[in-house]
Amino acid sequence: MTVSTIAIRPLWLRVLQFPPTRIVLLGGIIFYMMAVNNGFMEDFKATPVVAIAITIGMGGLAMAIYAGWGRFIERREVTELSLPGMGREWATGALIGAGLFASCAMILMMLGMYRIEGLNPLSFLIPAVAMALSSGIFEELFFRGVVFRSVEDLFGSWISLVVSSLVFGFIHLLNPGGTIEGAIYISIEAGLLLAAAYLLTRRLWMSIGFHMAWNYTQSAIFSGVVSGGVTLPGLIRDVIEGPELLTGGSFGLESSVIALVLCTTAGVILLMIAVRRGHILPPPWKR
């Protein structure tokens, strides 16, 4: 049945179903939409509610395009975006993301490197919402939904874990404050953790929740620099002083040993659970 079905599929469809084509076309569409949305966020940064509304609309459209590609081009059920269990998985990822960043900040406080000088009005919590939504939706659709799945189809989960993590980390060199050290740290700590969240559930909601919550907590609450890019004043007025090895310097806390240890440990734990659940896909020659 399967062989016959594949044999009668037209050539154009088989080309579109080829994983590298998925990366170029579907990935290109999502990446372009992310860039356009980032432009809108910059244009409407003085009116953050408008930026949030645009990001929700653009993010919903990106999800619809992703789901449509899976349904009509790949001819499969797009389980990674199915709604049952979405809230639970998103909330779990969000708790992990917010908890890990808060733990990093508390360690810096205990070391005397993070000092709170006061609080800003609650309205300072609003501007970072659009940024968190954008990074959580677009980046997870692209890096885990497109890149990870495509490389996994070709070479299996382990190689895909390495490749997608490196691509995810080094794409941050495009940020104004991007550094090689920051890119390497993100590849290890965040690339592993986010891919492990996907492997654990074989769905995107947990990684989306983590990504949103980490970035939002870092920017909106702790007023931190997000991956060498976003620098918005948040709720807490703080002063961070200490060696870049521990504070992350101008790149942000992702480039610190503290985040590297905590996030990598969490990622390894999730990955071990995913392995026990049998969610690791071997390469095609071993299937």
Indicate the burial class of 217 (C-beta count within 10 angstroms; 0-12, 13-18, 19 or more).
buried
The number of distinct structural domains making up the chain is 1
Q: Is residue 146 a part of any domain in this protein? A: yes
- Residue 63 has a CB neighbour count (10 Å cut-off) of 19
Q: Is residue 192 a part of any domain in this protein? A: yes
Q: Is residue 10 a part of any domain in this protein? A: no
| C-alpha 188, offset from chain centre | 13
Side-chain half-sphere CA neighbours of 174 within 13 A: 6
Q: Is residue 28 a part of any domain in this protein? A: no
Among candidates 172, 142, 171, 134, which has minimal Cα distance to 28? 142
Contacts of 174-179 spanning 24+ positions with Cβ under 8 A: 175/227, 175/228, 175/229, 176/228, 176/229, 177/225, 177/228, 177/229, 177/250, 177/251, 177/252, 178/227, 178/228, 178/229, 178/251, 179/228, 179/251, 179/255
Q: Is residue 49 a part of any domain in this protein? A: no
d(CA 12, CA 253): 46
Instruction: Give mean pLDDT in consecutive 10-residue pieces for the chain, a chain of 287 residues.
Output: 58 91 97 96 94 97 98 96 96 97 95 93 95 97 98 97 96 88 94 97 97 96 87 89 91 93 97 96 86
Q: Is residue 54 a part of any domain in this protein? A: no
Q: Is residue 260 a part of any domain in this protein? A: yes
pLDDT for the residue numbered 5: 47
pLDDT for the residue numbered 7: 54
Backbone angles phi, psi at 117, to 5 degrees: -105, -15
Q: What is the pTM of this model?
A: 0.93
Q: Is residue 145 a part of any domain in this protein? A: yes
d(CA 234, CA 142): 28
State the amino acid at position 134 in one-letter form. Answer: S
pLDDT for the residue numbered 228: 81
Are 62 and 137 in contact by the 8 Å Cβ rule? The answer is yes
pLDDT for the residue numbered 38: 94
Domain that holds residue 205: 85-286
CA dihedral 286, 4, 65, 210 (to 10 degrees): -20
